[in-house]
Amino acid sequence: MAGPRPLANGSGITMRPARSQTQEREENIFLFYPNLVGYSRVVLTIASLYYMPLHPRTCSLLYSASCLLDALDGMAARYFDQETKFGIVLDMVTDRCTTSCLLVFLASAFPRWSIIFQGLISLDLASHYMHMYATLSMGESGRSHKDVDESRSWVLKMYYTNKKVLFIFCALNELFFIALYLLSFSSPYLSPTLKTSDNLASLPVGKPAPVERSMVFASPWSAGAMEYARANKMDSTIPWILAITSFPVMAGKQIINMIQLVKASRWLAEGDIERKRAHARKGQ
C-alpha cells in the first residue's frame, strides 16, 4: 500500500506533512554531557588503580581528579537539563566502586587493620543499597534517593539536600583515605615494614625510615619487592596533616552511613508490616 502523497500549496510547490513526535530523532541518553563526565571518572579511576601499587603521586592525582569530577557531573546535569536515572545510578556506582578499590588497597597495605577497612566497605555498600532500594520500593514513583523527608531523618535531609554539606563530607572522606594511602608509602609508624630494627626509638616524626634490601627478589611484582619499592617514597608530614584534619569528617560520614542503613531498614520493615496488615484484611 502506497504511503501518503506530498501535499501541494497554491503555487504548485509540494509540501511534506509535518513529522510526528514518534518520528523525531531519539536522544541518546548515554551521550549526555553529565554521563560523559561519569565515563571520564571511570577512566581516571582505572588509571589510578594501575599506578596505585608503586606510584603514589600519580595515583593520588588521578584519583583526586576522578573525585572532583563527581561535583562537575551534577552541575552539568542541571545546566544542560540532562538529569537522568541512568546518570544518578552511574554516579552512585562509580562512587562506591572507587572508594571500595582504595579501601581494598589499604587493607593490604595495613593488614593489622584490614578488618576495619573491610567493615567500611561493607557499611558503605550496604547503607547506600538499602537506602536506594527503600526509596525506590517505598517512595513515590520517580523519586530520587536524595529526596529525604525530614520526618524520617533531619540528618539525611541536610546531608542530601545541602550541596555544600554533601560536597564537604564526600571530599574530606576521600581525602582521609588518600592520606592513609600516602602514609602507607611514607610512615614507618603505620607500616612496620618501613621500620628497621636499629632506629625505632630515634625515628623522627614525619621522616621515612631507611630500609635495607635483605634479598634479591625474583619477581618485581612479588609482595616483598613491592614492599621494598613502596618504602621511602616520600615524606609523611603533609599526609599526616591531611589525615588528622579530615578524620573528624570521615568519622561523621560513617555515622551518616549507619543512620542511613538503620532508617532504610526501618522503612522497609514498615512496608512489610503494612503489606501483612493489608493481606490480613483481604483474608477476613
State the SS3 of 194-239. Answer: HCCCCCCCCCCCCCCCCCCCCCCCCCCCCHHHHHHHHCCCCCCHHH
Residue 189 is classified by DSSP as: T
- On whether residue 14 sits in a domain, the answer given is no
* E strand or H helix at 239: helix 237-283
Report the distance separating Cα 73 and Cα 67, nearest Å.
Answer: 11
- On whether residue 199 sits in a domain, the answer given is no
The grid coordinates listed for 168 are 564537604
Residue 40 is classified by DSSP as: H
pLDDT in tens, 132-191: 888 888 766 556 667 777 777 888 988 988 889 999 999 999 999 999 999 998 887 886
pLDDT in tens, 228-243: 666 656 788 999 999 9
| Chain position carrying cell 636499629 | 198
CA separation, residue 178 to residues 44, 97, 120, 173, 251 (Å): 15, 15, 15, 9, 15
Q: Which of 223, 224, 186 is nearest to 206 (CA)?
A: 186
What CATH number is associated with residue 230? 1.20.120
- On whether residue 252 sits in a domain, the answer given is yes
Q: What is the pLDDT of residue 238?
A: 93
Cβ atoms of 247 and 176 within 8 Å: the answer is yes
CA separation, residue 223 to residues 38, 157, 217, 234 (Å): 33, 45, 9, 20
- On whether residue 283 sits in a domain, the answer given is no
Local structure of 8: helix, strand or coil: strand
- On whether residue 259 sits in a domain, the answer given is yes
- The dihedral built from the CA positions of residue 254, 246, 241 and 100, taken in this order, carries a sign that is positive
Q: Which residues are catalytic?
A: 95
pTM of the full predicted structure? 0.78
| Chain position carrying cell 621494598 | 228
Domain residue limits at 103? 29-191+221-275
Whether the predicted pLDDT of 260 surpasses 60:
yes
* Average pLDDT of every residue of the chain: 82
The total of structural domains in the chain comes to: 1
- On whether residue 93 sits in a domain, the answer given is yes
Residue 250: pLDDT band (50, 70, 90) is very high
Report the distance separating Cα 180 and Cα 246, nearest Å.
Answer: 11
Report the distance separating Cα 107 and Cα 128, nearest Å.
Answer: 21
- On whether residue 212 sits in a domain, the answer given is no
Whether the predicted pLDDT of 227 surpasses 80:
no
The grid coordinates listed for 113 are 587493620
- On whether residue 201 sits in a domain, the answer given is no
